Amino acid sequence: MSQPRTIRLSPDDNVVVAVDIVQPGASAVGVTARERVVRGHKMAIAPIAEGEPVRKYGQIIGFATKAIEPGAWVHEHNTAMGDFSRDYRHAEDAKNDEILPPEMRATFEGYVRPNGKTGTRNYIGILTSVNCSASVAKFIAEGVNRSGILDDYPEIDGAVPFVHGTGCGLAAYGEGFEVLRRTQWGYATHPNLGGALMVGLGCEVFQIDRMKDEYNMVEGDHFQTMTIQATGGTKKTIQEGIERIRAMLPIAAKAKRETRPASEVTLALQCGGSDGYSGITANPALGAAVDLLVKHGGTGVLSETPEIYGAEHLLTRRAVNRSVGEKLVGRIKWWEDYTARNAGEMNNNPSPGNKAGGLTTILEKSLGAAAKGGSTTLRAVYEYAQPIKEKGFVFMDTPGYDPVGATGQVAGGCNVMCFTTGRGSAFGCKPTPSIKLATNSQVYASMTDDMDINCGDVLDGVSVQDKGKEIFDHVLRVASGAHTKSEDLGYGDLEFVPWQIGATM
């Protein structure tokens, strides 16, 4: 009998996932199937006693409701979540993750900034306080990028307008305003920018001078601001903006790439357009890459709170301490309130379609997304766009919606992004390069101009660990300046989308 393909996602797992249909009598990882296991479903590879945990991704996805023998199909008829969900067990599974000493860490070539942070790109950012200055920012960027004045500065990646739809018609205090302010500050001070000019209209709610005051921002060679009203209208502001950037260029161009440890990488983890393969190919492979990055002293940033909803107690167990775990639980409760007051609800339960595809519990479904974060200790939990200061595996609370989630991660300081996609996302980002990981070979082939790495070959036998190593190596190449597909395509001018919370007045 032929050997059907299966995937064992972690050495700790007591189940494998069928890639091909497993027929009774067929052999998979040395275990003989006792019954038919269709694609995407699980087969036990060890005896699991009643009440014992079922493990996938090296983590608990449920408990056996009766004794399960090796070779048995594992699904709702013999597995359930129990009352696991009510038990956070803060920090119970926190580990002393292995971190390599500095001299053994992998390296990349990055831009060291005056504040000690390392950039992977060297853009000039043109920030906007409000939609009312969006066109002017675009015209300034076009003026800089098309005038030839950058020709003398090969070390500068270009001028990027960060335009958006908000900045006025919102309350001047409260969480909606705070989120926008953190986002703007995070971009203005991002290590991937060699300089930043912030342009406003003048009369908007988001006052540039107030932001400068609140963050003690000082204008100078790297950061300047202006408003259309004070400068005398559109034409004068464009002209003056181009002149201001022209004066910044020689300073920004002094930045040179130098060898830096992988611990200077802060990697944003994203998925968008997920499919049935996301949780068994690209996401676990990215998780393996994050485990490597953490071992080399770096930081991986898991986000997309709605997608880990229902599995938060797996992250609380991995939390370094109770306070980090409780911060996560606090954000989950915030989301329950946020959706309820907007006439919605949080619900990440497996749908009938999910169940038909082999997902048994909400834990298993959420772990498919959380697998991007690997297996190390959760070191910190951040709110949207807060500056990321801890090394290791951390969480930032964001929506799952790609441009909004990614904007929060970049504002937090992420200098590289890995983005898994099954349906085929075309997402690109500035100033942070986004590496796109296809979950299956079909989407990799059909959107080859957009995809950086094919993780579909995990289905054909490439190990999750080997794929993780490939991703880790590519992250360092991209951090050193190698272009992603979306950079070559020119993405990134329209994907800055700060999270809007609250009423638009």
Please identify, among the stretches 20-28, 49-57, 393-401, 431-439, the one whose residues bind Ca ion according to the rule CB under 5 A.
393-401
Cβ nearer to Ca ion, comparing 6 with 407: 407
- Cβ atoms within 10 Å, residue 471: 26
Provide the residue count of the chain: 505
Please identify, among the stretches 175-183, 189-197, 268-276, 476-484, the one whose residues bind Ca ion according to the rule CB under 5 A.
268-276
Binder of residue 431, out of Ca ion, a second copy, none (CB less than 5 to 8 A by kind) = none
Tell me how far apart the alpha carbons of residues 62 and 15 are, in angstroms, rounded to a whole number: 12
CA dist 126 → 122, 163, 240, 419, 462 (Å): 13, 8, 13, 25, 43
Binder of residue 334, out of Ca ion, a second copy, none (CB less than 5 to 8 A by kind) = none
Binder of residue 57, out of Ca ion, a second copy, none (CB less than 5 to 8 A by kind) = none
Handedness of CA 483, 485, 487, 489 (dihedral sign): positive
257-261 vs 107-112, strand pairing mode:
antiparallel
Please identify, among the stretches 48-56, 84-92, 224-232, 405-413, the one whose residues bind Ca ion according to the rule CB under 5 A.
405-413
Cβ nearer to a second copy, comparing 62 with 272: 272
Quick check: 400 binds Ca ion (CB under 5 A)? yes
| Shortest CB 363 distance to a second copy, Å | 20
Q: Which residues bind a second copy (CB under 8 A)?
A: 131-136, 138-139, 163-165, 168-171, 174, 176, 201-203, 228-229, 232-236, 272-273, 306, 338-339, 341-344, 399-404, 423-428, 446-450, 489-495, 497, 499-505
DSSP class per residue in 295-359 = HTT-EEEE--HHHHTT-HHHHHHHBSSHHHHHHHHHHHHHHHHHHHHTT-----PPPHHHHHTT-
Cβ nearer to a second copy, comparing 13 with 495: 495
| Shortest CB 136 distance to a second copy, Å | 7
Cβ nearer to a second copy, comparing 251 with 489: 489
Quick check: 431 binds Ca ion (CB under 5 A)? no
Among 134, 271, 320, 438, binds Ca ion (CB under 5 A): 271
Helix (H) or strand (E) holding 53, with range, is strand 53-56
Among 291, 312, 383, 402, binds Ca ion (CB under 5 A): 402
Strand arrangement, sheet containing 107-112 = 118-119, 107-112, 257-261
Binder of residue 490, out of a second copy, Ca ion, none (CB less than 5 to 8 A by kind) = a second copy
Quick check: 298 binds Ca ion (CB under 5 A)? no
Cβ nearer to Ca ion, comparing 402 with 452: 402
Q: 3-class DSSP state for residue 183?
A: helix
- How many residues bind to Ca ion according to rule CB under 5 A? 6
Binder of residue 362, out of Ca ion, a second copy, none (CB less than 5 to 8 A by kind) = none
Please identify, among the stretches 68-76, 202-210, 266-274, 277-285, the one whose residues bind Ca ion according to the rule CB under 5 A.
266-274
Name 65's Cβ contacts closer than 8 Å, sequence gap at least 6: 50, 78, 79, 80
416-421 vs 434-438, strand pairing mode:
parallel
Helices (H) and strands (E) in the chain, counts: 15, 23
Cβ nearer to Ca ion, comparing 325 with 403: 403
Partners of residue 59 on adjacent β-strands:
56
Which residues of this protein are in contact with Ca ion, per CB under 5 A?
270-272, 400, 402, 405
